[in-house]
Amino acid sequence: MTEGKKIRRGLFRHLPLHLIILPSVICLLIFNYAPMAGLVMAFQDYKPRLGLLKSAWVGFEHFQYMFTYPDSLQVIYNTLIIAAFKIVANIVVPIVFALLLNEVRKLVFKRFVQTLVYLPHFLSWVILGGILTDILGNKGIINQLILLLGAEPVFFLGDGTWFRVTVIVSDVWKEFGFSAIIYLAAMSGINMSLYEAAEIDGAGRFKQTLHVTLPAMVPVILVVGTLSLGNILNAGFDQIFNLYNPLVYKTGDIIDTFVYRVGLMSGSFSFATAVGLFKSVVSFVLIVAAYRLAYRFGNYRIF
């Protein structure tokens, strides 16, 4: 049998496999790969009526503008600050929570806690945004409590500094339970004889946590930590969009919300695409680097 015949026979034998994956491939081509090609508009002065082919080329003009325009620099800075705090808090808080939950011996109580803390993860930021706007408002229940304690009301969503705090804390509130699952899973895999050995050596519960539980969790923590590096420019579009207002644009506006307003609201397609492309490229580099690191640290693979 010649090479060509072999390949043709292979294609024919596996034809059903190619056919059934085709719809997904077409969807990805149109809605994921075609937009990637559309990124060239970041180097153009894109006019919808001229299209991609006839719009004028401007080279790196939009990128130069982005790095000299105070607003866009501020937006990049806001994104980094908010995302960095979220990344750290969303690793530390779930670990502490998982360690505390691990000490609970009563299964019924453990389930009760788990059921409640996982719930906010599944509610959208539209719902949670509505709830937070209600309870954090000037006359909301939180400010009533603050007044009761004799302090001044806080403008959680109207004051620049407080806005960032609110965004970070509410994100941790929404996600800490769900993020703890992976650590709880890691803990349940620890060999009980390690604890018994530690106990014989005279270690109390605290020392056991320090010398048995935590070391066993290090690989998982490293994997989660490195993978979250890819999120350094993801400050949480859904959340910010549903909580912010013009009063806090200075400290709360992030790349994604900026791209939405500049691009879709004001119609500066090319500039917004350039800002978006900047974000995609940085994220891409970080994700690839993070996966390589995660593979080395924790033998993590997606395929």
Partner 1 sequence: MHQKTIAYRWFTTGNTIFLAVLAILCILPLIHVGAVSFSSSSAATANRVYFWPVDFTAEAYLRTLTNPSFLRSLLFSVERTVVGTLFSMFLTVTAAYTLSRSFAGRSFYAWFFVFTMLFNGGLIPTYLVVTQLELTNTLWALILPSAVNVFNTILMMQFFRAIPKELEEAAHIDGAGYIRSLVSIYLPLSLPSLATLSLFAMVWHWNSWFDGLIYMTDYRKYPLATFLQTIIQSGDMRNTNIDPGQLQILSERTVRSAQILIGALPILIVYPFLQRFFVQGLTMGAVKE
Which 55-94 residues touch partner 1, going by CB under 8 A? Answer: none
Task: List, in order, residues 6 or more apart from 106 with CB less than 8 Å away.
Answer: none
Smallest gap from residue 68 Cβ to partner 1 (A): 21
Report which of 239, 187, 257, 242 is spatially closest to residue 215, judged by C-alpha positions: 187
Q: How far is the CB of 80 from partner 1 (least distance, A)?
A: 18
Q: Among 84, 146, 216, 287, which residue interacts with partner 1 (rule: CB under 8 A)?
A: 287
End-to-end CA distance of the chain: 34
Q: Which of residues 32-51 bind partner 1 (CB under 8 A)?
A: 32-39, 41, 48
When asked if residue 297 is in the footprint of partner 1 (CB under 8 A), the reply is: no
Binding-site size for partner 1 (CB under 8 A) equals 97
Q: Does 280 bind partner 1 (CB under 8 A)?
A: yes
CA atoms within a 13 Å half-sphere pointing along the CA-CB vector of 281? 9
Burial code (b: 16+ CB inside 10 Å, e: under 16) for 64-88 equals eebeeeeebeebbebbeebbebbbe
Minimum Å gap between C-beta 170 and partner 1 is 10
Among 88, 116, 197, 218, binds partner 1 (CB under 8 A): 116
How far apart are the C-alpha atoms of 163 and 178, rounded to whole Å?
24
Q: Which of these, 209, 232, 218, 236, lies nearest to 298 by C-alpha position?
A: 218
Comparison of 57 and 122: residue with beta carbon closer to partner 1: 122
Residues 248-277 that bind partner 1 (CB under 8 A): 256, 259-260, 263-265, 269, 272-273, 276-277
Name residues contacting partner 1, limited to 150-169 (CB under 8 A): none
Supply the minimum distance, in Å, between the C-beta of residue 214 and partner 1: 17
Q: Under the criterion CB under 8 A, does residue 215 sit at the interface with partner 1?
A: no
